[in-house]
Amino acid sequence: MSKRFCVTGTCIPAKNYMVDISDRVDIIIHDYIDKGQYFTINRARQYGKTTTLYMLEQRLKSDYLVISLSFEAVDEYFASLGTLAEGLMMDIAECLKNQNASETIIEEWNEPLSDKFPLRSLGMKITRLCKASNKKVVLMIDEVDKSSDNQIFLSFLGLLREKYLKCQQGKDITFQSVILAGVYDVKSLKLKIHPQEETKYNSPWNIAVDFSMDMSFNINDIKSMLSDYENEHRTGMDIELIASIIYDYTSGYPYLVSRICQLTDERIASHEQDADEKKAWTKNGLLQAIKLLLKEPNTLFDDMTKKLLDHPALKDMLQKILFDGIDFPFKRENPIIDLGVTFGFLKDKNGIVAVANRIFETQLYDTFLSEMAVNDRLYVDAAANRNQFIVSDMLQMDLVMKKFYEYFEEIYTENDHKFIEENGRKLFLLFLKPIINGTGNYYVEAQTRNNRRTDIIVDYKGKRFIIELKIWHGNEYNLRGQKQLFDYLDYYKEDKGYLLSFNFNKNKKTGVNEWEYDGRKIMEVVV
């Protein structure tokens, strides 16, 4: 049976096209497990944690006795210390059977726990197991933060910590290594012990070392997965180019990388009209897949929406970054920034807070704009008249810019300067979005986004349009902006660009102008 791309559950090398993470697994074993370290793999949702644990287990089984558990669906375990101890006892017994532990070890493990001191009794069982096993024992628990906001979980961590410290002192024998995987770092666990009690940060997991490995995919990682696919399908794709485009949009976020590949393979190459594998694995095919990704409901985007509702301060920061071009210094000591990094929404870019990848940027723009669009006349008018902007199946960007000028002059001329300065780029994107929606993609170039200037790149059926938005700050600044736009056109090998200027001078001259410079054309709209 042919392999497939996988975005749900565990990726299995024999069944799925996947990035070769064997080097990462080797490093984890050498630097952490062989050295007896306890650590947490805390990464954002769908970041490859479960697959990493699976690959670790497969590699470790020859040298270690591996107990691999998950707290995904064990809420009832945390009703009391007794239920937790009994639940763990059952699950570990199953692991021992699966790894062909001796009958003597299994029988001893299954002896009843103490009714009065169930957790202490479990700790003694762990000691006897580690003594009796002819291999060192490694404990791995996935989805560890599913039930991490209560005292029972705190007690469990306390047991692991106590045994670790006693083992260091030569007073106990316990697990060689413990790996906890989840979104949140349980070293700074947020606990609410009683319903009326103030939320506190308190965790005994301070014995754990920092796990700093980069689990995102680089271009070579993506190339390894594409090469595996190409060996089987022979599409003739330019692997270097395709990997670069995927990385440009995802920054290596594992779910996004795999989902774009999956959509290209299963939707663009297989089920779309005039499907053709060779055409699918091209830049245009990938842009179609990205368009599908941004339109579909999926668990990652659903979780993003929920997190923004739950954390309005994070939502506000993201809007200030995207629409206002505000640079926040990157400091994870800031709880809002730390939360954004934990969820995978934010990253450190040269000491400044940035959105983690282009897909997330576009999804966030679309989310925020959709909230504004409901009662916005600019959006409604653009949507109602969309067909006039598409001629011979191609976007007419000249007309888009001219019509934006007309609508803006009609609707917003009387608004105060502060409103326009804060909302100018939102208004243009509100106008643009319904026109290209469903066919084209757009993104904001992060390198040029600031409170004075923004470059928007539109891809429409393989044709690229570059639009610079800027706030007028004098003629000298304007000339610099024009030069920057020409440099950008040169970089993208385009012969025409668009300049949208928001000018607040009292004697400003608004309108639409076209001019040429060094063989390239510019349409400038001044409002």
Query: Are 223 and 196 members of one domain?
Result: no
How many other CB atoms are there within 10 angstroms of residue 115's CB atom? 8
335 occurs within a structural domain: no
Following CA atoms 257, 259, 264, 267 in sequence, which dihedral angle do they give, to the nearest 10 degrees? 180
Could you tell me whether strands 177-182 and 136-142 are parallel, antiparallel, or unpaired per DSSP bridges? parallel
Query: Are 239 and 156 members of one domain?
Result: no
Query: Are 456 and 483 members of one domain?
Result: yes
Q: What one-letter code names the amino acid at 461?
A: K
- Give the span between the Cα atoms of 77 and 86, in whole angstroms: 8
pLDDT for the residue numbered 452? 63
CB-side exposure of 169: number of CA atoms within 13 Å? 7
For residue 310, what are the contacts with CB-CB under 8 A and spacing of at least 6? none
pLDDT for the residue numbered 289? 94
Please name which of 62, 63, 138, 56 lies closest in space to residue 95, comparing C-alpha atoms.
Answer: 138
Query: Are 108 and 178 members of one domain?
Result: yes
- Give the span between the Cα atoms of 416 and 215, in whole angstroms: 47
pLDDT for the residue numbered 491? 77
Kindly write down the DSSP assignment for every residue of 322-368, as one continuous string.
HHH-PPPB--TTSHHHHHHHHTTSEEEETTEEEES-HHHHHHHHHHH
Asked if 191 contacts 150 with a C-beta cutoff of 8 angstroms, the reply is: yes
pLDDT for the residue numbered 147? 67
Query: Are 126 and 239 members of one domain?
Result: no
397 occurs within a structural domain: yes
pLDDT in tens, 420-445: 777 788 889 999 999 998 788 888 87
For residue 401, what are the contacts with CB-CB under 8 A and spacing of at least 6? 467, 498, 500, 512, 523, 525
Query: Are 196 and 237 members of one domain?
Result: no
For residue 167, what are the contacts with CB-CB under 8 A and spacing of at least 6? 173, 174
CB-side exposure of 211: number of CA atoms within 13 Å? 28
Could you tell me whether strands 346-349 and 38-42 are parallel, antiparallel, or unpaired per DSSP bridges? unpaired
Sign of torsion over alpha carbons 118, 124, 130, 133: negative
pLDDT for the residue numbered 218? 97
Q: How many domains does the chain have?
A: 3
pLDDT for the residue numbered 42? 94
CATH of the domain at 120: 3.40.50
- Give the span between the Cα atoms of 278 and 238, in whole angstroms: 10
325 occurs within a structural domain: no
How many other CB atoms are there within 10 angstroms of residue 26's CB atom? 11
Q: Return the residue matching tokens 């024999």.
A: 14
pLDDT in tens, 76-133: 999 999 999 999 999 999 999 999 999 999 999 999 999 999 999 999 999 999 999 9
Helix or strand run (H / E) with residue 285 = helix 283-295
**Spans of the chain, pLDDT less than 70:** 1, 147-149, 188-202, 271-276, 414-417, 446-453, 473-482, 506-508
Query: Are 33 and 74 members of one domain?
Result: yes
146 occurs within a structural domain: yes
430 occurs within a structural domain: yes
Query: Are 136 and 203 members of one domain?
Result: yes
Q: Which of 296, 323, 342 is the last residue of a domain?
A: 296
Query: Are 132 and 46 members of one domain?
Result: yes
pLDDT for the residue numbered 280? 92
pLDDT for the residue numbered 271? 57
Q: What one-letter code names the amino acid at 430?
A: L
- Give the span between the Cα atoms of 18 and 214, in whole angstroms: 17
288 occurs within a structural domain: yes
Sign of torsion over alpha carbons 274, 280, 282, 287: positive
How many other CB atoms are there within 10 angstroms of residue 209's CB atom? 13
Token duo for residue 143 = 């989805």
Phi, psi of 521 (to 5 degrees): -105, 145
Helix axes 397-411, 417-436, angle to 10 degrees: 140
pLDDT for the residue numbered 151? 82
Query: Are 283 and 399 members of one domain?
Result: no
CA 155 to mean position of chain CA atoms: 32
Q: Which of 153, 180, 207 is the last residue of a domain?
A: 207
- Give the span between the Cα atoms of 186 and 184, in whole angstroms: 6
- Give the span between the Cα atoms of 328 and 337, in whole angstroms: 9
Query: Are 148 and 175 members of one domain?
Result: yes
336 occurs within a structural domain: no
Q: Which of 186, 207, 228 is the last residue of a domain?
A: 207
128 occurs within a structural domain: yes
- Provide the residue count of the chain: 527
Asked if 451 contacts 471 with a C-beta cutoff of 8 angstroms, the reply is: yes
Please name which of 406, 424, 43, 443 lies closest in space to residue 215, comparing C-alpha atoms.
Answer: 43
138, β-bridge pairs: 66, 177
Q: What one-letter code names the amino acid at 144?
A: V
Collapse the DSSP code of 435 into the 3-class scheme (helix H, G, I; strand E, B; otherwise coil) and give the result: helix
pLDDT in tens, 292-347: 999 999 999 999 999 999 999 999 999 999 888 888 999 999 999 999 999 999 99
Query: Are 56 and 132 members of one domain?
Result: yes
Helix axes 239-250, 254-263, angle to 10 degrees: 130
- Give the span between the Cα atoms of 412 and 420, in whole angstroms: 8
pLDDT for the residue numbered 509? 79
- Containing domain of residue 239, as a range? 219-296
- Give the span between the Cα atoms of 147 and 303, in whole angstroms: 18
Please name which of 229, 218, 333, 324 lies closest in space to residue 5, comparing C-alpha atoms.
Answer: 229
pLDDT for the residue numbered 450? 59
